[in-house]
Amino acid sequence: MRLARWFAAGLAFMGLNTVLLYGLVDKLKIPVIIGTLLAAEACTLLRFAVNHYWVFNRRDPTCAHCVQYHIANAGAFVVWWVTANVLTVLGMHYLIASIVAVGFSTVVSVMTNFHWIWRRHHT
């Protein structure tokens, strides 16, 4: 059930990221390389809360947990950001490139979320 919720949240945030990226790049005329960073950080902060409360049913978020989540997402973020920008430079529309890049970063994210940040502790 947690994995299904995790993927549902991921799909919702992929949509939100796409909308934010469109607003930043097409409406506010921010360069894609900066727009991808801003959209990703906004979604990272919001998804931390959704994962913590809804996906993993935790009730004790702290700044330390948020920092851990950022560290855990760093690898997945780098994979997403580099892929999205390389595909854009190669001629793919930036919104499609952003969505395609999500697939590459998902494996890293699953591993860090389920096996590090919110792993089950055995007593």
Question: Where are the domains positioned within the chain?
Answer: 2-117
Rounded CA Rg of the chain: 15
Whether pLDDT at 103 is above 90: no
pLDDT at 26: 98
Stronger pLDDT, 28 or 118, i.e. the higher one: 28
pLDDT digits (tens, 9 = 90+) for 57-76: 999 888 988 998 999 988 99
How many angstroms separate the CA atoms of 44 and 116, rounded?
17
Output DSSP code: residue 120. Answer: P
How many angstroms separate the CA atoms of 113 and 51, rounded?
9
